[in-house]
Amino acid sequence: MPKNYRFLILDVFTDTPFSGNQLAVFTNATGMTSQQMQALAREINFSETTFVLPPQAGGDICMRIFSPEREFPFAGHPTLGTAFAIAGPLQSTLMRIETGMGIVPVLLEREGAKIVFGSMQQPIPTVRPFDAANELLAVLGVSASRLPVEVYSNGIDHIFVMFSSFAQVASLKPDLARLQAAAGDAGVNCFALEDGKVKTRMFFTDVATGEDAATGSAAGPLAVHLARHGLVEWGTEVVISQGAEIGRPSTLYARAEGSAQQITSVGVGGCAVVVAKGEFAV
């Protein structure tokens, strides 16, 4: 007999419904197989869907994350959105979420019973040069990046390319087939810095539209990237806008602590709002 599994749909990195990055959260996936999780993620077809399970390693919950194509050990907006979904009824202010990259704590701010903001401590990313930078720049239609083209990994690989202006970032129309050939499975983050704020677009073939509305897993490494290269001071909060070009404007807040020699913490925060709920018979 089929079993009914309840889910919530949230918009993440926004406090306004129908903007931000969409997320489906199955609030109790006990008994569900990996194959069923992947099938549900493909059926829902958001950039990611999460499945909440009992904790196994000292956290409050265990979370698995699937795109329509594969499972990820960590991702940003799924972690933040899942914390909002699960902590709301529990009145929790701290959620310790077990992921494939270890326990990720999410600190939640409340106004009465309502959660109004969440901030996660992300895995410290590794960094390396991107070997195919010239090929990638050619696909993007630019001759150079204002910073070295580098790859950061915190469970997902992210390549960062810096542009001269917000307008230049907004005008990008990459050929996604050529982009995937140049970047592989990594997300390509194209960003600019103006007046202390950042505009970014992230192109990723796991997403149905080819572009992500709000990429929490990239926001932390982006703050590290800017601090490592001296464009912001370590410990400075970076305000990041994303998603406007696909009609889902989002705002992310990121901060990197430490130094180029030793990164001590990476935090990413934002809002989320529940927009729907339902159940699947599996």
Assess whether 117 and 137 both reside in one domain.
Answer: no
Assess whether 185 and 67 both reside in one domain.
Answer: no
Handedness of CA 222, 228, 233, 236 (dihedral sign): positive
CA distances from 251 to 102, 179, 248 (A): 26, 25, 10
Assess whether 108 and 175 both reside in one domain.
Answer: no
Assess whether 75 and 147 both reside in one domain.
Answer: no
DSSP string, 178-200: HHHHHHTTSEEEEEEEETTEEEE
Assess whether 32 and 78 both reside in one domain.
Answer: yes
CA distance from start to end of the chain: 9
pLDDT for the residue numbered 91: 78
Q: Is pLDDT above 80 for 208?
A: no
pLDDT for the residue numbered 205: 79
Q: Is pLDDT above 80 for 49?
A: yes
Assess whether 135 and 13 both reside in one domain.
Answer: no
How many residues in total does the chain contain?
A: 282
Which residue range(s) make up the domain with 235? 126-265
Assess whether 41 and 154 both reside in one domain.
Answer: no
Instruction: Tell me the CATH number at 67.
Output: 3.10.310.10
Assess whether 66 and 180 both reside in one domain.
Answer: no
Assess whether 134 and 258 both reside in one domain.
Answer: yes
pLDDT for the residue numbered 199: 98
pLDDT for the residue numbered 162: 98
pTM for the complete prediction? 0.96
Assess whether 169 and 89 both reside in one domain.
Answer: no
Residue 42 binned pLDDT confidence (cut-offs 50, 70, 90): very high
pLDDT for the residue numbered 30: 97
- Give the phi and the psi of residue 20 in degrees, each rounded to 5: 65, -165
Residue of 43, 48, 150, 233 with catalytic role: 48
Cβ contact 95:71 at 8 Å: no
Burial per residue of 121-144, b for 16 or more beta-carbon CB atoms within 10 angstroms, e otherwise: ebbbbebeebeebeebbebbebee
Q: Is pLDDT above 80 for 93?
A: yes
The stretch 73-98 carries a mean pLDDT of 93
Total structural domains in the chain? Answer: 2
Assess whether 240 and 111 both reside in one domain.
Answer: no
pLDDT for the residue numbered 92: 82
Assess whether 198 and 145 both reside in one domain.
Answer: yes
pLDDT for the residue numbered 62: 98
- 48 labelled catalytic: yes
Q: Is pLDDT above 90 for 207?
A: no
